[in-house]
Amino acid sequence: MIKLDLHVHSQYSDDAVGSPREIIKSLKKKGLQGMALTDHNTVSGGIKALKIAPKDFIVIPGVEISTADGHILALNVKKNISRNLSTEETVDIIIDEGGMPIIPHLFRSMSGIKTTKLKTVLENIHAIEVFNSCSQPKTNLKTAKVAKEFNLGGTGGSDAHNPLYAGYGYTLVDTTDFNPDTVLSEINKKKTWGEGMVLPLEYRRSRMLKSVKQFFQRGFKRI
């Protein structure tokens, strides 16, 4: 069994700090075997992580895309994908690029695509994020219930924007193979699940306040 944080941000995200190297170091210290670096609307962090990761650490390059309806994670992509497209268009492009779409924090007020939009792309979705360390426990439970209702696999991620908190959420993969393709195959087969710990309340509050402040600074635009 291996653990990977499949939703983490680096300094390549406008609202995060920490280099890919610092995140890898933090995750290894916590006993995790890999990650997907999913910066907001850029694959730069993931590409950098691929270049510097040690051989005993899995890196899946990724991106968190801001669609017109909310956020979608794209795993295993090395090209930026246009933002502000519909959920359906974004999922199609991710697949065309050889990537895997994962729906994160389904019910988050400003950036979750919600169940209605999820239903429009179900045939192309194999897993949703059932554990997000920045979400409330009851929200994670609600999302896990949706995954089971629609016969989907699950992933987990810290959604950390600081290396200190990377690894609080993680995806369990029943393998000892450190090949990224094996991890992606298990997600594709709906055999993975997400677990972890919720981030400290004080940090979640500061993240929320920062997000609101940046929302106003961007002219009432979501990240």
Q: Is residue 222 part of a domain?
A: no
Give the model's confidence band at 129: pLDDT under 50 very low, under 70 low, under 90 confident, else very high: very high
134, two tokens? 């920045």
Is there a domain that residue 102 lies in? Answer: yes
Looking at residue 215, its pLDDT comes to 52
Distance of alpha carbon 7 from alpha carbon 155, whole angstroms? 9
Q: How far is 188 from 87, CA to CA, in rounded Å?
A: 19
207 in any annotated domain: yes
- Cβ partners under 8 Å of residue 83, min gap 6: 41, 65, 66, 67
Tokens of 18: 């920490």
Q: Yes or no: say if 54 and 33 are a contact pair by the CB < 8 Å rule.
A: no
Sequence-distant contacts of 208-216: CB under 8 A, at least 24 apart: 210/15, 211/15, 211/110, 214/14, 214/15, 215/110
Residue 223 lies in a domain: no
174 is a domain residue: yes
Residue 140, domain member (yes or no): yes
Percent of the chain having pLDDT more than 70?
91
Number of domains forming the structure of the chain:
1
Neighbouring C-beta atoms of residue 206, cutoff 10 Å: 12
Residue type at 8 in one-letter notation: V
Residue 152: give its domain's CATH number.
3.20.20.140
Above 60 in pLDDT, residue 220?
no
What's the one-letter identity of residue 215? F
Range of the domain at 79: 2-217
Tens-place pLDDT, residues 43-98: 999 999 999 999 999 999 999 999 999 999 999 999 999 999 999 999 999 999 99
Is 109 a domain residue?
yes
Q: Compute the 3-state secondary structure of the chain and give helix, strand, coil in percent, each to the nearest 5.
A: 35, 25, 40
Residue 41's region, left for phi above 0, alpha for psi from -120 to 50, else beta, is left
Residue 208 has pLDDT above 90, yes or no: no
pLDDT band at 200 (very low <50, low <70, confident <90, very high): confident
What is the rounded distance in angstroms from the CA atom of residue 218 to the CA atom of residue 223?
8
pLDDT of residue 211: 63
Lowest mean pLDDT among 23-37, 167-181, 196-210: 196-210
Which DSSP helix (H) or strand (E) runs through 137?
helix 137-149
Ramachandran area for residue 100 (φ above 0: left; ψ -120 to 50: alpha; else beta):
beta
